[in-house]
Amino acid sequence: MISVDDLLALVRTYNPKTNEALIRDAYAYGHEMHDGQMRQSGEPYFTHPVAVAAILTQQHLDDATLITALLHDTIEDTRSTYSEVADRFGKEIADLVDGVTKLTNLQLSSSETKQAENFRKLFIAMSRDMRVILVKLADRLHNMRTIRAMRAEKQAQKARETMDIYAPLAGRMGMQWMREELEDLSFRVLNPEARNSIIRRFITLQRETGDVMQKITRDMRAELEGAQVEAEVFGRAKKPYSIWRKMEEKGIGFSRLSDIYGFRILTTTEEDCYRALGAIHQRWRAVPGRFKDYISQPKSNGYRSIHTTVSGRDGKRVEVQIRTRQMHDVAETGVAAHWSYRDGVRTENPFAVDPAKWIAQLTESFDAEDDHEEFLEAVKLEMYSDQVFCFTPKGDVVKLPRGATPLDFAYAIHTRIGAACVGAKVDGIRVPLWTRIKNGQSVTIITAEGQVPQATWLDIATTGKARAAIRKALREVDREKFIRLGGEVVRSAFQSIGRKATDKALTSAARTLRLKNIDDLLGRVGSGEMTAAEIVRAVYPDLAPDERDEIESARAVIGLEPGQAFERANCCQPLPGERIVGIAVRGRGAVVHGIDCEALERYDDQPSRWIDLHWQEGRHPAAYSVTLDVVIGNDAGVLGRVCTLVGERKANISDLQFVDRKPDFFRLMLTVDLSDAQHLHSLLSVLEAEEHVAEVSRHRDPARALSGAA
């Protein structure tokens, strides 16, 4: 265990004015509180808080943060209390320790709804004092370094949580070194074979080629000296996880992976950064599309550097980062640079960002999210995406996640611009809205009065802000439709028991179901969130319709005009229980499609033909045909067994066609009559479990929309 004297020696290297007495007191108090507690490795538990504090000294953090590290488990795991810590060390430290304790209790890898809520709490904690997260990240780093003492299943759980949450968070905060180490430690647990394989290949490569890094480093130093640029050059091999990720993304083997080495050039001035870049590009050929200037366009966490990739010795690609020493300090500590000390005083680094502004920017778009899953989607999009920098026609910079589209750009400028967007130009050329924006491009948004957000935009937009705004607009547009549709469904349900759906009855139902008003109630029925039977039951529990009564096929669909006929589309064969939409066809009424039917794309430019429809609630007869694509073994009795299984599920086979006959397998199209989506799911489950059935799936054919029911 690191002694208090050794810990203080680490602190004095950057903060000779440290409050040694207070740190000694915290060390003694933590040691006393954890006395007798052991880690799973068999070491005294207090070795962990001391190691966390030592990690934080590498970032030159202040005394309050270091003391918090020493005490971060006392309130949770010992007899210590918030009041006792506050009395002895002050309210600031007590609040920090309490904040870390609350974060420790968050289960960030739990179910999505709970995970989203816990992410909210995490960002709230960050907004109060970023140092809470710094301690938590250091805590996780030391736990990952010592994870071998845990049970195998616990190791896997912690490693996955670290890979999914803590490593990206460290990267987003600008602490790239910590992100890389957390990823690699997790990789060692989650895929040890792949990691060991990459390390073995590295060793073989070094044996075959010699110390390539030293050779390239010497070459770079010589070029910079020749250009009279004062700079330091450092080379390093990339981490095994970084290499494995590139191999996975590019689908190539280790032998074909070229850019496995990285080099860093540290200069004195910003001007020297660009002079160094010129010297490097003059000696080695730059790789197109691999240049990023984060000095002129910094990242939101304060990161500044020039990135370029060049072809070095023997055609090997190497990545080069060029920045000043002050930029490097921020690059090493990220947002934590705000608290860094040097020579006993807070470092005045011009590139360090204000943590309050950074977290406000990060959470701004999340505040508008009411839906838990949407909030979580937005968090992950913002945390795990790199950024691109593009320009407005006036030259203003807009930062967006990588993969963003002109639609995201429009919403980033203003929600009103996004909602009215009808087109875009990139670098003066008209492009589709789904075009991916690249670094440095100029984007012009074309708007039009009367334009409203379209449902298809959700497949185009990538940023949380744009998607939230689109969903909100669509909900407002759909609200009236859902209310109208819900009204029809509810009126029909009340009529079936001889009652009227009066305002008084619906108000009573809304109150019983704890809904705001009648519109909220009808809207939920129209959108499928509630059933009409629930509404009737809330008002007349003794008169609620018996849902066991079969619904006649002729009145199975709600939302048609009086007397308007309907037929199911052959292409998707929708079933009761599935979301549907109608397409008006002259002379034939409406053709009902599943909401996800590919054939609907041909009607995108004919919105007037679309009809909001809804299946009637209740039990439907087995009268709706669905075609199944089945592959069975060519053995005696197999086909008979399949037919028996269908009959046992109370489904009728209305057609059977062999489409492919092989010596060992037959492929056939089996048309069965079913009652609803649950009936289909039940049948598929039974067929999939049959050992002689190799494959079974629902057959959909968009081309069939042109025949029969189009």
**Which CATH number is correct for 194-346, 1.10.3720.10, 1.10.10.10, 3.30.365.10, 3.30.460.10?**
3.30.460.10
114-123, 213-222, 470-479: which has the minimum mean pLDDT?
A: 114-123
* Statement: residue 382 has pLDDT above 60: no
76 catalytic per annotation = yes
- pLDDT at 64 > cutoff 60: yes
**pLDDT greater than 80 at residue 122:** no
pLDDT for 142: 93
Percent of the chain scoring above 90 in pLDDT: 24
Average pLDDT over residues 460-465: 85
638-652 in b/e form (b: 16+ CB < 10 A) is bbeebeebbeebebe
Q: Is the pTM of this model over 0.85?
A: no
Active site residue 225: no
Q: What value, to the nearest 5°, has the Cα angle with vertex 524 and ends 523 and 528? A: 115
Catalytic residue among 76, 84, 180, 519: 76
What is the chain's alpha carbon radius of gyration, rounded to the nearest angstrom? 32
- In 3D space, the residue among 93, 141, 102 whose CA is nearest the CA of residue 120 turns out to be 102
Task: Say which CATH topology domain 4-190 has.
Answer: Hypothetical protein af1432 (1.10.3210)
Q: How far is Cα 54 from Cα 74, in angstroms, rounded to an integer?
A: 18
Whether pLDDT at 355 is above 50 = yes
Specify the pLDDT at position 707.
Answer: 42
- pLDDT of 709 reads 40
Confidence of residue 376 (pLDDT cuts 50, 70, 90): low
Question: Percent of the chain at pLDDT above 70?
Answer: 85
Quick one: average pLDDT of 69-81?
A: 89
Catalytic residue, chosen from 20, 25, 43, 77, is: 77
119-128, 214-223, 306-315 — which is least confidently predicted?
119-128
Pairing mode, strands 566-568 and 589-594: parallel
Q: How many residues does the chain have?
A: 710
Q: Please give the Cα distance from 199 to 20 (Å, whole number).
A: 43
Q: Per CATH, the architecture of 564-710 is what?
A: 2-Layer Sandwich (3.30)
Q: What are the pLDDT digits (tens) for 273-326? A: 999 999 999 888 888 777 888 898 887 777 899 999 888 656 577 889 999 998
Tell me how far apart the alpha carbons of residues 114 and 111 are, in angstroms, rounded to a whole number: 6
Q: Closest Cα partner for 328 from 294, 356, 360? A: 294
Percent helix, strand, coil in the chain, to 5, is 50, 15, 30
Question: Which of 276, 320, 328, 282 has the alpha carbon at shortest distance from 303?
Answer: 328
Parse the chain into domains and list their residue ranges.
Answer: 4-190, 194-346, 564-710
Query: What per-residue confidence (pLDDT) applies to 54?
Result: 94
pLDDT for 454 equals 84
Q: Pick the most confident of 39-43, 62-66, 535-539.
A: 62-66
Does the pLDDT at position 708 exceed 50?
no
Can you give the pLDDT at residue 157?
87
Is the distance from CB of 239 to CB of 176 less than 8 angstroms?
no
